[in-house]
């Protein structure tokens, strides 16, 4: 999609620090990490948010969770624990309108979120 920063990262037009890539999913380090480990998992297909998901995306979303698990294990945060977040819309603070799962670890997190 034009003017989507994450589509530009997928296309290689904007550099990123990749941690995982396959045909349908890309994961890269967040540019402004909010935890010692902060990775974003995105589908290569441009989907704006959870609100744009369809039943045909089931496999893709399940795959994103598999990739999240793999990254957590490989980055050494599986045992200590980690947080996965998908922000949707203004109240949640979604700033990039290409669906993305945050994976954060390496420190303790508050609950509930602020």
Contact pattern from residue 49 through residue 88 relative to ligand 5GP, giving x for each residue in contact according to CB under 6 A and a dash for the rest: --------------------------------------x-
Residue 49: name the closest of 99, 101, 102 by CA.
99
Binding-residue total with ligand 5GP (CB under 6 A): 14
- The reply on whether position 46 binds Zn ion by CB under 5 A is yes
Number of alpha helices (DSSP H) and beta strands (DSSP E) in the chain? 2, 5
Q: Which residue has the tokens 């959870």?
A: 50
Nearer to ligand 5GP, 79 or 113 (CB): 113
């Amino acid at each position: 999609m034009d003017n989507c920063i994450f589509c530009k990262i997928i296309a290689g037009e904007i550099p990123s620090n990749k941690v995982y890539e396959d045909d349908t999913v890309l994961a890269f380090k967040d540019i402004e990490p909010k935890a010692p480990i902060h990775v974003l998992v995105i589908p290569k297909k441009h989907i704006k948010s959870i609100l744009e998901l369809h039943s045909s995306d089931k496999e893709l979303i399940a795959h994103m969770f598999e990739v999240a698990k793999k990254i957590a294990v490989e980055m050494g945060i599986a045992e200590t624990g980690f947080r996965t977040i998908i922000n949707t819309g203004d109240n949640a603070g979604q700033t990039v309108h290409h669906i993305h799962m945050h994976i954060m670890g390496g420190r303790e997190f508050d609950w509930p979120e602020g």
